[in-house]
Amino acid sequence: PEAFEPARWYADSGSTTDRLAELDQEIDRLRGADFASLARTDSFRLTLHEEVEAHAFDHPVGTSVAFADLLDRTLKSELSRELVKAGYIDRNFSLYSAQFYGHFAGVDVATFLVQNVYPNTMDVHYGFESSAAIQNLLDESPTGFTRTVAALNIAIVDELLATDDSRIEDILDLLLRPSGGEPRRFLRAFLNADKSPERLVAALAHRGWEDVLQYVVSNDGVPGDRRVTYVDAALRALNDTANYRLDTAVCEFIVEHYAAMAAFTEQQGRQSATVLAERIDAAGVVIPELGPVASPLCQELARRRGYALTAPNLRIALDMPHTISLDVVRANEDVYAYCREKPTEYLRAVVDDEATPHAILEESTLVAVVNDRPDAWDEQVLADVLASASPESRLTDLEDVPEETWRALATARLFRPSLHNVSAYHQSVGTIDQPVADLLAEAAVIEIGDEDDETREAIAVAILNARHTIASPQERVQLATSLELEHPIDPSSITPEPGDLLGLLLEHQLVEDAREAFLQFRPAGWPAIEHGIAASSSFPEWCDAEIAAGFIPQLLASQHVPDTLRTTIVNDLETFIPDNDAAALQAVAEYALKTRRHLPVAQLHRVASATQDRRTVVSLLALSRASAPEIVDVLGRLPEPYSFFATRAKTEFDVPDDDDHRQILSDLRQAGIVRSHRKRPTSPRLVVKLPS
């Protein structure tokens, strides 16, 4: 069961790297070792794998032998063996002998072999002068030479690259050693040489060096004026298996210089374009302008959304249409998905594009966009997208899109004000809210179809009661009227309100001109009732005390109330004013005086008791045909001094001097109730004396 523990399946990467470095150092020491040093050590050994080898040494297969064993087995002469052990015969023996037997490859080659190849030492800048020197060196060098640091020479590596020699792979492996100090010093020198260093960069990139781009962009040893060339070479040579590391510096460098790189500006194969697009897309590189990018890389970047959402880029990605509206964008699924993913950037591109006045032109596109919106769109994003749509794209049927978008569509005025849509919206939201109210107010009419009268009336009532979202009663009544109701609305379903709503309802015959409508609107106050009276043709016929209650002063004063109704009220005060309502009786008194109407004594009693208005009561008494006792009875209900006529608490007092008082006093004197009345000399008063 311990085999299932993950820790047992992973090597310690640090320990592994250290061990590999140690092995590389041992290999380098072994390659540079001479015969004499090898003969003195027992640490490096050769295992005999073949029976022939084992038989020659008289050892079984699998036995390991040292260099000294090989020396004893190979050289039969004791002198020759001692010459080797003393260092007089070394690995350069064949080179020396070649000078005598006609196979000498040249001084420069021989020198390099002796000084560098055999001791395995690096000389980056060693120059070869003889013709075909590099090829001669490769021919004369021992097997595996290109896997040694001695091969890290600018001329040698350049030759291998130029001739496309397969042994360059050994050089690349050497350069990519994790522990390589000398290989990296060579790489720095090569990239500063006057050869063709971009070929080595390309080879390293194609070989799969994950840090190649970070190295040529950020390493201090890379010439600044060559970075663009090297990055370009690396990008064109990427393979499809390596996991290249593109840090922020690399991404920013590509964005800044891509227009100067052939990897972007020159046409290349589909495979290369795909690999490059994959790599920079994975790193999050966004190309600012697609204009300089050649096909098919441009197509790959468009497919992978690796470009800034601007109007010029969208046109390139969409094969140069006239506009960049979503009506056009929808034809390309990749671009459409990109615009949905980044709606804010897309809308900014639309605003910046003179040829695209709206992001959405057609109804079908609006339906698709609303239904295709990503979950990441919040209310504001949806509102912004809808705000950019053309009025011509508004929906015929609101139910083509999800209910949760209806409010936003209403705010943007993007569905037709049909009864079908308004009814569906009202059922969903439960009210005539501000968005749909604004939509209806702008439309001024509701388009009707074959809906039944019940549906029409329900929406009419909802609109008429939408005072808080459609303030104007004229607009509400106009909308309700456009529904062409077959029957009047029950007034009890309408919320009464001050103003002229009742009058408008009667005027447009939305409610029946009947007592019930006025009763419903009584709580809204006199202004609502007065507008109703102005629009009613039969109000006086059925106006009764219940409707008039509380409104007697207004009814008597309004210009919209016919005289016949006012006369009815004055003549039937017991019915219309059953209690001693001072304000109502005051209004009746003033109306009676104004119209010179005689009030019955009983009503004069009520006026005097309720209003205590001495001047008005006296004038009414002067106008009436009341007897002296009746006059005294009415005056007795007024404050002093008029009450003295009845109580005789005082027998001498004064009252105002006017015609009404003189007439009453004359009537009372004739009846013996007043002894005399005369004008007071110093004021406009009459002194009244009662019999003692």
30's tokens? 């072994």
User: pTM for the complete prediction?
Assistant: 0.72
Query: Given a cut of 70, is residue 533 above it in pLDDT?
Result: yes
Structure confidence at residue 62 as a pLDDT band (50, 70, 90): confident
Please tell me the number of Cα atoms within 13 Å of 14 on its side-chain side: 0
Task: Tell me what percent of the chain is helix, strand and coil, each rounded to the nearest 5.
Answer: 60, 5, 35
Return d(Cα 464, Cα 474) in angstroms, integer.
Answer: 10
Query: Given a cut of 80, is residue 615 above it in pLDDT?
Result: yes
Task: Give the per-residue pLDDT at 101.
Answer: 43
Q: What are phi and psi of 500, to 5 degrees?
A: -105, 20
Task: Give the per-residue pLDDT at 189.
Answer: 95
Residues 6+ apart with CB under 8 A from 268: 236, 294, 296, 297
Cβ contact 604:624 at 8 Å: yes
Structure confidence at residue 31 as a pLDDT band (50, 70, 90): low
Residues 6+ apart with CB under 8 A from 351: none
* 204-226 tens-digit pLDDT: 999 999 999 999 999 999 999 99
The mean pLDDT value for 92-118 works out to: 71
CB neighbours of residue 215 within 10 Å: 22
* 167-205 tens-digit pLDDT: 999 999 999 987 668 899 999 999 999 888 999 999 999
Structure confidence at residue 17 as a pLDDT band (50, 70, 90): low
Task: Give the per-residue pLDDT at 569.
Answer: 94
Helices (H) and strands (E) in the chain, counts: 43, 5
* 509-519 tens-digit pLDDT: 999 999 999 99
Q: What is the DSSP letter of 220?
A: T
Structure confidence at residue 94 as a pLDDT band (50, 70, 90): low
Return d(Cα 530, Cα 539) in angstroms, integer.
Answer: 11
Structure confidence at residue 75 as a pLDDT band (50, 70, 90): confident
The mean pLDDT value for 365-381 works out to: 96
The mean pLDDT value for 82-97 works out to: 72
Closest by CA position to 202, among listed 194, 213, 186 = 213
Return d(Cα 160, Cα 141) in angstroms, integer.
Answer: 15
